[in-house]
Amino acid sequence: MNKSELIDRIAASSDLPKASAGRALDAMISSVSDALKGGDPVVLVGFGTFSVKDRAARTGRNPQTGDPIDIPAAKIPSFKAGKALKDAVNT
């Protein structure tokens, strides 16, 4: 499912016009992104938790030349599914 298909489903299930559903989805994505930028986790009970994890610096290899390269430390977004979502997928 892509973003436009998700907007269609949101519009159909909530009796909203597609434009309003699209703005609602964009607002949700923006809010989650802003919270993660600030270092705050986003917990949606029954769905899951969005958080930021620290990935340590490490040394990798260039696959073409085999030369070692330094990969810097980074913060990466993470999602952990909640119990209700896991149960819904496994039924």
Residue 10 near residue 24, CB atoms below 8 Å: yes
Q: Among residues 7, 81, 87, which one has the least CA distance to residue 44?
A: 81
pTM over 0.85: no
pLDDT of residue 91: 86
Tell which CATH architecture fits domain 41-91. Answer: Irregular (4.10)
Q: State the average pLDDT for the chain.
A: 95
Q: Among residues 58, 62, 54, which one has the least CA distance to residue 72?
A: 58
β-bridge partners, 68? 61
Query: Which phi and psi (to 5°) does residue 69 adopt?
Result: -130, 150
Question: For the segment 62-83, what is each residue's pLDDT rounded down to a tens digit?
Answer: 999 999 999 999 999 999 999 9
Neighbour-count burial for 51-72, b at 16+ CB within 10 Å, e otherwise: beeeeeeeeeeeeeeeeeeeee
Average pLDDT in the 54-63 region? 95
